[in-house]
Structure 1
């Protein structure tokens, strides 16, 4: 993928690399740290130094450590309050739309690099994030993607867009680097508690999400976790936050997981969006196809009326 790399600010092409930096045609350079290129724009809210000193930003790998008794109980013993039941089926279907050796960019890969590379095993999967907690292929800010125009067959950003401080610019970048005829898979919450603080900025309605991709046609939409999951998460969050004491908060976490964990199964009955179910779901998945048609806002809005009641 190095042939597609550009400087995130000057858009100068990559000229060469050494063990510790990328060198660009305009003589600028960006650092490689522990084998991972750090390609931040000077205007990004993230910076190279935070990566080098391993400062925690949007994620902390410690939450996966089940040798910690709290994590073990939370992750292994207690039922979840929500679940994306169709995620494997959704990605398997996406995989069939990609040809052999298609190039896929994962934005905000987190701890799921192995999962994505398995799902799209016939593709070249490029992983990225804004930190080095889980060793992505590249570290960069999605507002300033350091790749040239029209170079990816699919760009996937799951549970990322809510963490972008300027989602309009972020979505413009996603569309820029996707090939004409390529796919964009975007998944995000509409209703979910504040998290990954302070890097949590927006929530998206059905029409709000659609409006961010005017150069694309919608080929599939899905409710990932529905209204029942939203109810369970909201009640649990309310009760946990009635106290600042750890024991009380942990007790409410335990109680609400046990009492409300079953609600998510009701969402399996309503996976497809319609004018009732889009009222307050926990999250959406949109599959877009880039066609470069310049749609007017009213055209994007009118697509909502195509949803069945």
Structure 2
């Protein structure tokens, strides 16, 4: 994430940005017609069992967008959406060292030019024994918000968090989600004959037609080899320091 300013967005991101002004409706649309079926969408709640039963625990949601996952979470984003408490850059967090109990970041690191620096910042501000939850893409098409830089394999997400002790790592959205996304893009490309306005129309049309297929992931997501073409992975880790 970079410093916020009104820069030119691509056509699809402009549409999404407009809908983000209505968080509940946008969240419903994403669940319904997005090519990605986040079977373990609420897996961020798993961090609760790893965080001490301190009601005053500080839990930070980085890259929150307009969404309020939990009332107790502090929402931080590069863009001043509704429900955002702090507007800041993920690579320059405005917190002291060892001050945060837990951090949640869901599909935001692919939009950060230097994601490793972002994870290092999370490590810096986190208390010893603090817990991180990360959800990032693997097999997904380009989706600017407002930029899009990287993807990670299952081993890649573990390497990205090499300073943490891994507690859990698994498939967040399965292989059918990958297929639906790529097929939607491919059909729009193939049938648009290089006519960009037609491509945009076809992309929206196939998004509306193909989205139900993603629910096949209810069958495939637990397959031992699903990680080979998974749409996303999630990671839970703990900060452990001897000193």
Distance 1:206 1:226, change over 3 A: same
Looking at structure 2, the residues matched to 104 and 252 of structure 1 have their Cα atoms a distance apart, in angstroms, of 37
Q: TM-score, normalised by structure 2?
A: 0.81
User: Residue 82 in 1 paired to residue 18 in 2?
Assistant: no
User: How has the CA–CA distance of structure 1 residues 257 and 197 changed in structure 2, closer, same or farther, with 3 Å as cutoff?
Assistant: same
Q: 2:59·2:104 contact (CA, 8 Å) conserved in 1? A: yes
Residue in structure 1 matching 2:3, options 37, 46, 49: 46
Give the gaps of 5 or more residues in structure 2.
Answer: none
**Aligned-residue offset at 1:214:** 1.8
Matched-pair contact (CA < 8 Å) for 1:221–1:272? no
Q: Which residue of 1 aligns with 2:208?
A: 257
Does the CA-based 8 Å contact 1:190-1:203 persist in structure 2?
yes
Q: Is the 8 A contact 1:215 1:290 kept in 2?
A: yes
Counterpart selection for 2:218 from 260, 268, 272? 268
Task: Select the residue among 174, 192, 205 that pairs with 2:153.
Answer: 205
Normalised by the length of structure 1, the TM-score is 0.65
For the residues of structure 1 that align with 2:206 and 2:35, how far apart are their CA atoms? 11
In the TM superposition, residue 261 of structure 1 has moved relative to its aligned partner by 2.6
From the CA coordinates, give the structure whose radius of gyration is larger.
1
* Shift of residue 95, structure 1, vs aligned partner: 2.9
Give 3-state SS (helix, strand or coil) of 1:109's partner.
Answer: coil
User: How do residues 221-240 of structure 1 correspond to structure 2 at under 5 angstroms?
Assistant: 221-240=169-188
Counterpart-to-counterpart distance in 1, 2:200 and 2:8: 23
> Separation in 2 of the partners of 1:78 and 1:246?
24
Instruction: Please give the residue correspondences for 1:126-205 in structure 2 after superposition, counting only pairs within 5 Å.
Output: 126-196=74-144, 199-205=147-153
**Change over 3 Å in CA distance of 1:93–1:196 after alignment to 2:** same
8 Å contact from structure 2 (residues 132, 237) kept in 1 = yes
Equivalent pairs, count: 230
Task: Identify the structure with bigger relative contact order (alpha carbons < 8 Å, sequence gap 6+).
Answer: 2
Query: For residues 263 and 283 of structure 1, what CA distance do their matches in structure 2 show?
Result: 17
Structure 1 runs, 4 residues or longer, greater than 6 Å off: 56-59
Deviations 1:269-291 (A, max 9, x none): 344584x2221111011111111
SS in structure 2 at match of 1:278: helix
Change (3 A) 1:80 1:138: closer
Distance in 2, Cα, partners of 1:196 & 1:97 = 33
CA contact (8 A) 1:129 1:136 kept: yes
| CA apart distance, 1:106 | 0.8
Instruction: State the match for 1:288 in structure 2.
Output: 237
Mapped to 1, the partners of 2:199 and 2:142 lie a distance apart of 20
Higher helix residue share:
2
Range moving further from structure 2, 192-201 or 162-171: 192-201
CA deviations 1:143-186 (Å, max 9, x no partner) are: 11111111111111101110111111111111111111111000
C-alpha spacing 1:266/1:148, structure 2 compared with 1 (3 Å)? same
